[in-house]
Structure 1
Amino acid sequence: MTDAVLVYVGLIFGGILVAVVTALVAAGIVIVVQRFTDAARERHDGYVDAIGMVFAVVGVLYAIVLAFVVITVWDQMGSARQDSFTEATALVDVYAYAENVQDPARSEIQLLARSYAEQVIRDEWPAMQHHESVPLNGWNTLDRLREAVRGTGPHADASDATVDSYEAAMNALTTASEARTARATASTRGLPLVMWFLLVGGGLLTIAFAYLFDIAGLVSQLIFTVGLTVMVVLLLYAVYQLEYPFARGERIEADAFRFALARFAQLSG
C-alpha cells in the first residue's frame, strides 16, 4: 500500500473510532441524565418548552458558526492545493523558456529550476507537515533563478516573439513567488485559539441542552441525542484534520513539484 492510501485508511479508521467512542459515551450520559432528571420533568410543566426555546437559539447559532468554519478550512485547503500547482507550473514555464536560450544561461536556469523543486520537496514539505515556517533557502534559489532569467533579456533588435517569451518567463517567476508566499502562509495558519474555544465550548453547550429534552421512550432519546453528539464531534474532527493544509491526515502532498521534475526531464528529452 502506498503512503497516500495508508494516510486515508488511517483517517477513515480514526473517524470511525471517534464516532464509536463518542456514541458509547453519549449513550451512557443519556441513561444517567434520564435517571436523575425524571423527577424534575414531572414537577415542572414548562420544563420541555423552556429547554426547547434555549436549544433552538443555541443550536442555530452554533450551526452557523460551525458551518462557516468548515467551509473556511475546506476553501483554504483547496486554495493551498491550487497555489502549489500554480507555483510548480510557473517553474515549468521558466524551464521551458530556457530551452530556447543559449548555453551557459540555459544550463544555469534549468539547474536552478530543478534545484528549487528538489529543495521544496526535500526541505520545505517536511517542515510544512509539522506546520512550521518554510525555510528561507528556497527564496535564495528563486532569487538566483530570477537573476539568471533577467540576464537573458533581449537586445534592442530582438524579435517580438523573443521579447514576448522573455516577458512571459519573468511573469512566471512573479507568479511562482506569489504562490510560494501563499503556500508559506498557509502552512502555519491554523484556527485561532479563541475559535477552537468557541467550537468546543459551543458544541458542549449545544449537546448539553439536547440531553435535557423529554422525548417519549429511551430509544428515541438515545437516537436523537447520540446522533446529534456524533455529528458535532465528527464535524470538529474534520475541522481538526483540515486546519493545516499541509499537515495532519488530510494533508496536501508535494505531487505538484514531483510533476514539475517529471516535466523537466520530458522537456530536456
Structure 2
Amino acid sequence: MPVIVYDVPNWALGMGLVLTWVLLGLGAQAVLPRRWREHATEADRNVALASLGVIATINSLLLAFSAVSVWDSFSAAEQAVSREATAMAQLGRSLAVYGTPESTLARERLRGYGRSVIGKEWAAMQHEQPSQQTQDAFDDVYRSLGALRPASAAETVLVEQMWSQVNDLLMQRRARLEASDGKVPTTLWVVVLVSSLLTLAPVAVLPVTACSRGAIVVLAIALGLVFHFVAAMDRPFLGAERVTSDPIENALANMQRWDARSLPVAAR
C-alpha cells in the first residue's frame, strides 16, 4: 500500500475500504445491462453460482495467504525490536559492571546508539531509507569495545560475554531493518484485487432483488474487512497498528535507572 495511506486514521481506512467494495459490488450490478439478466435462464444462474463458489474459494486462499504473510512479517518485526532491546540492556549492564573509563565510554556510545535508533532511524525505516548516522553510532560501540583491555581472568570472561552480546545486538538490528522492508509484493496485491473483483462478478448477474443486493453487500463487507487487515499490517512500522520503539526506550530508561542507583554507591 502507498505510504500516504497510513496517514489516515485506522477507522477511516477500514470504513473507506469497506465502502469502496460495497460501491464496487452494487455498481457492478447496476452497470450490467438489464437485458442480460432478463435473458438469463435458470441454467445460466446455476453456472454463475457455481462459478462464484470456485472463484470465492480461490480468492479466500489468496486472501488467507496475504493475511498470514503480513502477520508473520509484523510478528517478526515486533520480535526483532524486543530482542534488540534485550541485547542492548544486557550489554549496558555488562559495561556498567566492568566499571572502567573505557567501558563507561562504550556504555555512553551504546546509549547514543539507542537514542539514534529512536530519533533518527525509526523515521527513516518508515520511509524505507537507511540512517547512516545510526550505523555510525553502532560502529562506535564496536570501536569502544575494542579498546577494552582486561586485566584479570574475571574481566576477560566479562569482555568475551560483551562481545557475544554486541554480536547478538548486531544480529537483531539487521533483523529489524529487514523486517522494515517486509510488505506484500505489488504482484500479489494486483492478483488479490482482480480475484476479488471477479468474486463479485457472478453475483451481479443475478436478478436485482433485496436478497441479491444483500448478498453483494455482505460479500463486499467481508472483502473490505480482509483488505483492511492486510493493508493495516502491510508495513510493520507504519499506521495505527505499527511496531513502536517502546522496548528500546524502556532499555534506555533502565540504563538511566541503573546509573541513578549506582550514584550513592560511587559516592561512598
Query: Shorter-chain-normalised TM-score: which range?
Result: 0.7 to 0.9
Question: Could you report, residue by residue, the CA deviation over 1:76-122 in whole angstroms, capped at 9, with x for unpaired residues?
Answer: 10110110111111111111011122331122111111100111111
Structure 1 runs of 4+ aligned residues shifted over 4 Å read: 31-36
CA contact (8 A) 1:116 1:138 kept: yes
CA distance, structure 2, for counterparts of residue 18 and residue 236 of structure 1 = 7
Structure 1 match to 2:131: 135
Structure 2 residue 215 is matched with structure 1 residue 228:
no
Structure 2 match to 1:15: 14
CA contact (8 A) 1:109 1:149 kept: yes
Question: Could you report, residue by residue, the CA deviation over 1:202-261 in whole angstroms, capped at 9, with x for unpaired residues?
Answer: 1111121232245xx822212211111121122122212211111233222221221121
CA contact (8 A) 1:128 1:247 kept: no
Structure 2 residue 219 is matched with structure 1 residue 205:
no
Question: Could you report, residue by residue, the CA deviation over 1:50-85 in whole angstroms, capped at 9, with x for unpaired residues?
Answer: 112222222111111110110110111011011011
Amino acid at match of 1:67: A
Structure 1 match to 2:251: 260
Structure 2 residue 138 is matched with structure 1 residue 147:
no
Structure 2 residue 170 is matched with structure 1 residue 177:
yes
Structure 2: 5+ residue stretches without partners:
1-5, 261-268
Tell me how far 1:163 sits from its aligned partner: 4.3
Given the superposition, is the C-alpha separation of residues 72 and 153 from structure 1 closer, same or farther in structure 2, using an over 3 Å criterion? farther
- 150, 153, 158: which one aligns with 1:158: 153
CA contact (8 A) 2:69 2:184 kept: no
Amino acid at match of 1:82: Q
Given the superposition, is the C-alpha separation of residues 65 and 94 from structure 1 closer, same or farther in structure 2, using an over 3 Å criterion? same
Structure 2 residue 102 is matched with structure 1 residue 111:
no
Structure 1 match to 2:39: 40
CA distance, structure 2, for counterparts of residue 200 and residue 78 of structure 1 = 24
TM-score (norm 1): 0.85
Residue 97 of structure 2: SS of its match in structure 1? coil
CA distance, structure 2, for counterparts of residue 187 and residue 173 of structure 1 = 21
CA distance, structure 2, for counterparts of residue 210 and residue 75 of structure 1 = 33
Alignment of 1:85-124 (within 5 A): 85-124=82-121
CA contact (8 A) 2:113 2:134 kept: yes
Residue 211 of structure 2: SS of its match in structure 1? helix
Given the superposition, is the C-alpha separation of residues 143 and 266 from structure 1 closer, same or farther in structure 2, using an over 3 Å criterion? same
- 48, 69, 72: which one aligns with 1:75: 72
CA contact (8 A) 2:48 2:205 kept: yes
CA contact (8 A) 1:26 1:226 kept: yes
Given the superposition, is the C-alpha separation of residues 228 and 38 from structure 1 closer, same or farther in structure 2, using an over 3 Å criterion? same
TM-score (norm 2): 0.85
CA contact (8 A) 2:25 2:200 kept: no
Structure 1: 5+ residue stretches without partners:
1-6
Farther off after superposition, 93-102 or 11-20: 11-20
CA contact (8 A) 1:101 1:152 kept: no
CA distance, structure 2, for counterparts of residue 264 and residue 227 of structure 1 = 53
Farther off after superposition, 165-174 or 72-81: 165-174
> What percent identity do the matched residue pairs reach?
23
Residue 100 of structure 1: SS of its match in structure 2? helix
Amino acid at match of 1:267: W
Amino acid at match of 2:194: G
CA distance, structure 2, for counterparts of residue 195 and residue 221 of structure 1 = 29
Tell me how far 1:12 sits from its aligned partner: 1.8
